[in-house]
Amino acid sequence: MDQASFTEICLHQLKMSGVHEGEKLIVLTQGSDRLDYADAFMAAGQRLGAVMYHMRLPAPLPIGGWNVGMTGLAGMPEAVEALKNCDMLIDCIFLLFSPEQMAIQAAGTRVLTAVEPPELLARMLPSKELREKVEIGAEILSKAKVMRITSPHGTDVTYKLNTYPTIAEYACTDEPGRWDHWPSGFVFTGADDDGVDGQIVVAPGDILLPQNMYVREEPIVYTIEKGWVQDIRGGLDAELVISYMEDFNDERGKGMSHIGWGMNPNAKWHGMTPGAFPGGMGMEPRSFYGNVMFSTGPNNELGGPNDTPCHLDIPMRNCSLFLDDTPIVVDGDIVVDEMKMDRG
Q: What is the mean pLDDT of residues 205-229?
A: 96
Domains of the chain, first to last: 3-115 (3.40.50.2300), 126-339 (no CATH)
Confidence at residue 278, expressed as pLDDT on a 0 to 100 scale: 81
83 and 54 Cβ atoms separated by less than 8 Å: no
The rounded radius of gyration (Å) of the Cα atoms in the chain is: 19
State the DSSP code for 254.
G
17 and 112 Cβ atoms separated by less than 8 Å: yes
Confidence at residue 273, expressed as pLDDT on a 0 to 100 scale: 87
| Mean pLDDT (the chain, rounded) | 95
More confident residue, 257 or 344: 257
Q: How far is CA 60 from the centre of its chain?
A: 22
Amino acid at 148: R
Confidence at residue 276, expressed as pLDDT on a 0 to 100 scale: 78
Backbone angles phi, psi at 204, to 5 degrees: -55, 135
Confidence at residue 72, expressed as pLDDT on a 0 to 100 scale: 86
For residue 254, count CB atoms less than 10 angstroms from its CB and return exposed for 0-12, middle for 13-18, buried for 19 or more. Answer: buried
Q: Is residue 70 predicted with pLDDT exceeding 80?
A: no
For residue 147, how many other CB atoms are within 10 A of its CB? 24
Tens digits of per-residue pLDDT, 241-291? Answer: 999 999 999 999 999 999 999 999 999 999 888 877 888 899 999 999 999
Distance CA 238, CA 245 (A): 11
